[in-house]
Amino acid sequence: EQGGVCAICRKPERNCRPLAVDHSHVTGQVRSLLCVNCNTELGIIENSHKRHFIKKLYMYLEHWEANNE
């Protein structure tokens, strides 16, 4: 379904590694396949208080770009 690429960065895994199976740590539900870099970053952000701050940063940048292009 993903064509052998990471669901986040859309790049294939390097160094002949298989893509990691991402899953919810709450429900156990499989979400998709991720490269090791994206899987690591997701784990850091998902389990951190910074998650909501990062969302606000993203919304701020999206708003600024939409109104200034």
Residues 5-25: what's their mean pLDDT?
92
pLDDT-based confidence at residue 47 (cuts at 50, 70, 90) = confident
Which residues have a Cβ under 8 Å from the Cβ of 59 and sit 6 or more positions away?
none
In order of 21, 49, 66, 68, the CA distances from 25 in angstroms are 12, 16, 35, 39
Domain ranges of the chain: 1-69
Instruction: Give the residue, 60 or 68, on which the prediction is more confident.
Output: 60
Contact 6, 34 (CB under 8 A): yes
Summarised one tens digit per residue, pLDDT across range 22-40 is 998 889 999 999 999 999 9
* Per-residue pLDDT, 9: 96
pLDDT-based confidence at residue 50 (cuts at 50, 70, 90) = confident
Reported CATH class of domain 1-69: alpha beta
- With tokens 């899987």, the residue in question is 39
Reading the block at residue 29, the tokens are 């539900």
Residues 63-67: what's their mean pLDDT?
91
Contact 57, 45 (CB under 8 A): no
